Amino acid sequence: MKAGVLRERSGALLLVLPVLVFMAVFFLWPLWAMVTAAFVDDAVSKVLPRTAASIVSWNGQGVPSEAAHKALVQDLRAATDEQALGEAVRRLNSAASGFRTLLGRTIPAVKAASDPAQVDLLAIDPRWKDTRFWMALKEAMPPYTDRNILAAVDMKRDASGSIVLEAADASAHRLIMLRTLLVAAMVTIACAVIGLPYAMLAASLTGWKRSVLLLAVVLPLWTSLLVRTAAWFILLQNEGLINRALQAIGLIDSPLPLIFNRLGVVIAMTHVLLPFMVLPIYSVILGIPRNLMSAAQSMGAGPVRAFWRVLLPLSLPGLLSGSLLVFMVAIGYYITPALLGGANDQMISSVIAFYATGTANWGLAGALGLMLLGVTTVLYTIYGRFSTSPQVPGA
Amino acid sequence: MRPFIRFESVSKAFGSLTVVNALDLAIEKGEFVSLLGPSGSGKTTILMMLAGFERPTQGAIYLDGKRIDHLPPYRRQMGVVFQNYALFPHMSVAENVAFPLEMQRVPRAEITERVERALDMVKLKQLKDRRPSQLSGGQQQRIALTRALVFEPSVILMDEPLGALDKQLREHMQLEIRELHKRLGLTIVFVTHDQSEALTMSDRIAVFNAGRIEQIDVPQVIYDTPRTRFVAEFIGETNLIEAKVASVDNQVARLSLGAGLSARAHAGNGLSAGQTASFSLRPERIRLGASPEGSNALDMTITDCIYHGDHMRVQLTRDEFSLVARCERLAGNWTVGAPVVASFDPSDCTVLTQ
Ligand SMILES: Nc1ncnc2c1ncn2[C@@H]1O[C@H](COP(=O)(O)OP(=O)(O)O)[C@@H](O)[C@H]1O
Ligand SMILES: [Mg+2]
The predicted complex's ipTM stands at 0.82
Confidence grade of residue A315 (pLDDT, cut at 50, 70, 90): very high
* Helix A66-78, helix A99-112: angle, nearest 10: 80
Q: Which of residues 166-205 of A touch B (CB under 8 A)?
A: none
- Torsion angle, CA of B242/B248/B250/B251, rounded to 10 degrees? 20
Out of B11, B14, B214, give the residue to mutate to test ligand 1, the one with the largest number of ligand atoms within 8 Å of its CB. Answer: B14
Q: Domains, chain A, ranges and CATH?
A: 48-141 (no CATH), 173-386 (1.10.3720.10)
Mean pLDDT of A102-113: 88
pLDDT higher than threshold 60 for residue A317:
yes
pLDDT higher than threshold 60 for residue A187:
yes
Of A117-131, A218-232, B72-86, the range with the highest mean pLDDT is B72-86
**H helix or E strand, kind and range, residue B326:** strand B321-328
pTM here? 0.75
β-strand partners of B213: B208
Confidence grade of residue A393 (pLDDT, cut at 50, 70, 90): very low
Percent of chain A with pLDDT over 90: 30
B206-257 confidence digits (pLDDT tens):
999 999 999 999 999 999 999 999 999 999 899 999 999 988 888 888 888 8
pLDDT higher than threshold 80 for residue A256:
yes
How many of the other CB atoms lie within 10 Å of CB of B81? 26
pLDDT higher than threshold 80 for residue A3:
no
Flag the least confident range among A21-25, A107-111, B250-254, B346-350: B250-254
Pairing of strands B252-258, B239-249: antiparallel
Check residue A392 and give its pLDDT: 43
Check residue A339 and give its pLDDT: 86
Check residue A391 and give its pLDDT: 47
* Angle, vertex CA A155, rays to CA A151 and CA A157, nearest 5: 100
**Between B52, B86, B148, which is nearest A289 by CB?**
B86
Contact A300 B79 (CB under 8 A): no
pLDDT higher than threshold 80 for residue A260:
yes
The Cα–Cα gap between B116 and B130 comes to 14
Percent of chain A with pLDDT over 70: 97
Burial class (CB in 10 A: 0-12, 13-18, 19+), A162: exposed
A295 to chain B, any CB pair closer than 8 A? The answer is yes
Considering Cα of A362, then A368, then A374, then A376, what sign does the dihedral take? negative
pLDDT higher than threshold 90 for residue A250:
no
Cβ–Cβ < 8 Å for B190, B201:
yes
The Cα–Cα gap between A94 and A107 comes to 18
Q: Domains, chain B, ranges and CATH?
A: 5-234 (3.40.50.300), 239-352 (2.40.50.100)
β-strand partners of A165: A155
Q: What is the DSSP letter of B284?
A: G
Of the candidates B50, B69, B80, which has an alpha carbon nearest to the alpha carbon of residue B159? B80
The Cα–Cα gap between B313 and B324 comes to 7
B12: Cβ below 6 Å to ligand 1? Answer: no
Cβ–Cβ < 8 Å for B93, B124:
yes
A26-47 confidence digits (pLDDT tens):
989 988 988 888 898 888 888 8
Check residue A394 and give its pLDDT: 37
Cβ–Cβ < 8 Å for B29, B51:
no
pLDDT less than 50: residues of chain B: none
Higher-scoring residue by pLDDT: A314, A80: A314
Mean pLDDT across chain A, nearest whole number? 87
Q: Which of residues 46-75 of B touch A (CB under 8 A)?
A: 51-53, 72-74
Burial class (CB in 10 A: 0-12, 13-18, 19+), B258: middle
Confidence grade of residue A346 (pLDDT, cut at 50, 70, 90): confident
Higher-scoring residue by pLDDT: A320, A392: A320
* Helix A99-112, helix A82-95: angle, nearest 10: 140
Q: How many Å lie between the centroid of ligand 2 and the Cα of residue B193? A: 8
Check residue A185 and give its pLDDT: 96
Q: What is the DSSP letter of A311?
A: I
β-strand partners of B352: B278
pLDDT higher than threshold 80 for residue A388:
no
Q: How many Å lie between the centroid of ligand 1 and the Cα of residue B49? A: 12
